[in-house]
Amino acid sequence: MDEVEYLCDAFGSLKPGCIGIMDAGKLISLVTLQQLRTAPGEGLVMKQQDVAEVQGDSALCWEYLFFPTLEAANIYLEQQPNKIGMMVLPCYLKNIFVDLTGRQLD
């Protein structure tokens, strides 16, 4: 995903192309990188969750909360009484992929 994002940024200003996101052989999104980035928002709060509570498994997973701006994500985090397992990040293509497909990237 990092390479896709880099190449789209490097050549996007010359001729913006589309990025296709596929899941299980099905095309679920076909838009430009800019459209893909702005759809969920520019800011992201990642919240660590224990899957054991949900599925009886001992693995950890992440809940993604998207915000229109990075500042809005920071404000949300500051308002939380318990910030353990939470972090604010700019929204990257790999986060959008995980949100759209529900699959983690290894």
8 Å CB contact between 19 and 31: yes
State the average pLDDT over residues 21-30.
Answer: 88
Same structural domain, 50 and 28: no
- Examine the domain organization and report whether 1 and 12 are in the same domain: yes
- What DSSP line would sit under 1-12, residue for residue? -HHHHHHHHHHH
- Between 43 and 15, the higher pLDDT residue: 43
Same domain, 45 and 84: yes
pLDDT band at 18 (very low <50, low <70, confident <90, very high): confident
Based on the fold, state whether residues 34 and 74 are members of the same structural domain.
no
pLDDT of 105: 64
Residues 1, 28 share a domain: yes
Q: Are residues 84 and 53 in the same domain?
A: yes
Tell whether 31 and 60 lie within a shared domain: no
Are 42 and 91 in contact by the 8 Å Cβ rule? The answer is yes
Q: Is the pLDDT of residue 1 over 80?
A: no
**Owning domain of residue 68:** 41-90
Q: What is the pLDDT of residues 41-98, one digit of tens each?
A: 889 999 987 665 555 555 667 888 999 999 999 999 999 999 999 999 998 888 888 8
For the chain, the domain total comes to 2
CB proximity list for 90: less than 8 A, separation 6 or greater: 42, 43, 44, 70
pLDDT at 101 over 70: yes
pLDDT at 67 (0 to 100) = 93
**Is the domain of 51 the same as that of 76?**
yes
- Does 81 lie in the same domain as 58? yes
